[in-house]
């Protein structure tokens, strides 16, 4: 089956909003340029849809805002979003090709390529009030979580928080010998500036892994 290609987007250092025809659909974003990277972002907690001008600047500035880099000739898949911002770094231009559906993974660039991702092992005690996973990153830094996988020994609940303390997820129930996993190209949640990433549990213990990024603001 031939995949439907939307109109190409001429990308410059002036950011624009691209709305998608199906907000719950899957789309492949391809940087058809030969020289410069394209950055995309859908993160309403950081930049609202209409606040386009904030998502601009050098590559370092754009990445710090959460921009996902698509290298020249590479692709990334997005899903379940009604719109996204797209931009090139200052003084650069390229072309974005948008295809409905997911092209074969052999041509895919992992959406987090070029970003400083780190994983931490979770060894969570039962009934832990606030167990540290990652130390506070320092002034002007935040911890952004992009994925996690947790497995329980008995039925119970988990919840992520930072050391302010503020809950960063809801209470997540899990069955005996069950588990949960989530992975995203965009931050699932963000800790407050210069705070620890923590997790708490009720009844169950857990093993797993959390993937995060130390972001300079």
Residue whose entry in the numeric block shows the structure tokens 């995060």: 212
pLDDT for 120-164, tens place per residue? 888 888 898 899 998 898 888 889 898 899 999 899 999 999 999
∠ Cα 169 212 43 (to 5°): 65
pTM of the model: 0.51
pLDDT for 87-108, tens place per residue? 999 999 999 999 887 554 333 3
Residue whose entry in the numeric block shows the structure tokens 């979770």: 122
Task: Spell out the domains of the chain, with CATH numbers in brackets.
Answer: 9-107 (2.60.120), 117-216 (2.60.120)
pLDDT for 5-34, tens place per residue? 788 999 999 999 998 887 667 888 889 998
The pLDDT confidence band at residue 171, using thresholds 50, 70 and 90, is very high
Which among 25, 33, 139 has a CA at the least distance from the CA of 86?
Answer: 33
CA 85 remoteness from chain centre = 14
Contact in structure between 71 and 31 (CB atoms under 8 Å): yes
CA 30 remoteness from chain centre = 18
């Amino acid at each position: 089956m031939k995949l439907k290609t939307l109109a190409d987007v001429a990308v410059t250092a002036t950011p624009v909003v691209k709305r998608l025809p199906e907000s719950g659909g899957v789309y492949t974003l391809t940087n058809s340029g030969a020289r410069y990277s394209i950055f995309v972002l859908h993160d309403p907690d950081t930049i609202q849809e209409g606040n386009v001008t904030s998502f601009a600047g050098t590559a370092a500035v754009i990445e710090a805002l959460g921009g996902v880099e698509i290298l020249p000739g590479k692709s990334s898949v997005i899903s379940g979003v009604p719109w996204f911002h797209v931009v090139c770094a200052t003084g650069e231009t390229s072309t974005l090709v948008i295809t409905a559906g997911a092209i074969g993974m052999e041509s895919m660039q992992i959406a987090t390529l070029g970003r400083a991702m780190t994983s931490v092992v979770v060894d969570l005690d039962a009934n832990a009030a606030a167990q540290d996973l990652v130390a506070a990153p320092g002034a002007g830094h935040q911890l952004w979580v992009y994925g996690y996988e947790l497995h329980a020994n008995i039925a119970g609940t988990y919840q992520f928080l930072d050391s302010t303390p503020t809950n960063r997820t809801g209470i997540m129930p899990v069955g005996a010998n069950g588990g949960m996993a989530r992975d995203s190209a965009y931050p699932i949640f963000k800790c407050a500036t210069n705070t620890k990433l923590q997790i708490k549990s009720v009844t169950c213990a857990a093993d797993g892994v959390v993937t995060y990024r130390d972001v300079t603001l």
